[in-house]
């Protein structure tokens, strides 16, 4: 099977490339700026804003499956319109697609969110991600949308690097005690996405971890695992900061987990001292 991983140079994309190749799939990965250390069968440059570029890549690769692991930003043409364009092209070629979305689509007013929960974003990034998943499902009814949370693992995630820098004094800042998410290990998430694809899953899924942790609680777990002093991690309240964003958003992953062989571990499990990164 040929798998096209959009955003293959990113953190999640790199792990998807590794697992797809290990499973024996011919793997083509795309990059927006430059390739990464991932080793797909082939790299292809892709700009999701460019319909001609997108069609050319799909026509050449002719993948059986597309996984959109691109993260993007609040830039509407890239993060909102780009995935919809990708799904339209996948539908044109009769290609399955799994689109990775985010818990940023929720405001936090309900705290616990199920697969049937409707987006109510309060940030430009959340609005772009919400528009993307709604549009993807509209133009490609057989698409799967996978909403996830903070992605951790291998010491390479943004949050792990921030914790190291804070604990060693390389940067200023705080870890919020009121900003709560359901972290997932990148290895578990990539395996779950490939499993959803193999099962021809459609609709909305929540591959996130079962533990709800604050940014500070997560930082303590990372510090203890990596032999750092957790008392060096400064704390603060997001509610008192000028940073936009939601506070407490918990993706309920129980229904999604029941349909998976892959175990979506919680942070308290995969960040135990002595555990593999």
Could you report the per-residue pLDDT of 159-186, keeping only the tens digit for each?
A: 999 999 999 999 999 999 999 999 999 9
Q: Phi and psi of 249, rounded to 5°?
A: -130, 115
Could you report the per-residue pLDDT of 89-106, keeping only the tens digit for each?
A: 999 999 999 999 999 999
The mean predicted confidence, pLDDT, of the chain is 96
- Classify strands 175-176 and 112-113 as parallel, antiparallel or unpaired: unpaired
Cα 101 to Cα 124, 134, 163, 208, 273, distances in angstroms: 14, 10, 25, 11, 30
Q: What are the tokens at 232? A: 């060096």
Could you report the per-residue pLDDT of 124-135, keeping only the tens digit for each?
A: 999 999 999 999
- Listed residue (92, 91, 193) closest to 136, CA to CA: 91
Could you report the per-residue pLDDT of 17-51, keeping only the tens digit for each?
A: 999 999 999 999 999 988 988 899 999 999 999 99
Exposed (0-12), middle (13-18) or buried (19+): which is 109, by Cβ within 10 Å?
exposed
């Amino acid at each position: 099977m040929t798998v096209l991983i959009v955003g293959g140079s990113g953190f999640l994309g790199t792990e998807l490339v590794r697992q797809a190749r290990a499973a024996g799939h011919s793997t083509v990965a795309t990059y927006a700026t430059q390739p990464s250390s991932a080793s797909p069968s082939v790299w292809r440059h892709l700009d999701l804003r460019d319909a001609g570029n997108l069609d050319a890549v799909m026509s050449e690769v002719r993948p059986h499956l597309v996984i959109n692991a691109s993260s993007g930003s609040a830039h509407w043409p890239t993060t909102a319109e780009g995935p919809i364009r990708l799904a339209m092209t996948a539908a044109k070629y009769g290609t399955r697609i799994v689109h990775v979305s985010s818990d940023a689509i929720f405001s936090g007013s309900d705290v616990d969110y199920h697969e049937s929960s409707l987006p109510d974003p309060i940030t430009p990034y959340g609005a772009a991600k919400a528009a993307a998943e709604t549009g993807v499902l509209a133009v490609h009814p057989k698409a799967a949308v996978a909403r996830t949370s903070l992605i951790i693992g291998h010491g390479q995630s943004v949050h792990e690097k921030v914790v190291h820098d804070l604990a060693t004094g390389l940067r200023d800042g705080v870890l919020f005690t009121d900003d709560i998410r359901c972290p997932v290990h990148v290895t578990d998430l990539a395996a779950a996405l490939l499993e959803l694809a193999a099962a021809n899953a459609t609709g909305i899924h929540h591959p996130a971890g079962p533990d709800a942790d604050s940014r500070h609680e997560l930082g303590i777990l990372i510090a203890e695992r990596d032999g750092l002093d957790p008392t060096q991690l400064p704390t603060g309240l997001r509610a008192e900061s000028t940073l936009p964003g939601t506070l407490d958003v918990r993706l309920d992953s129980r229904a999604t987990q029941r349909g998976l062989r892959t175990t979506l571990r919680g942070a308290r499990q995969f960040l135990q001292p002595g555990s593999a990164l």
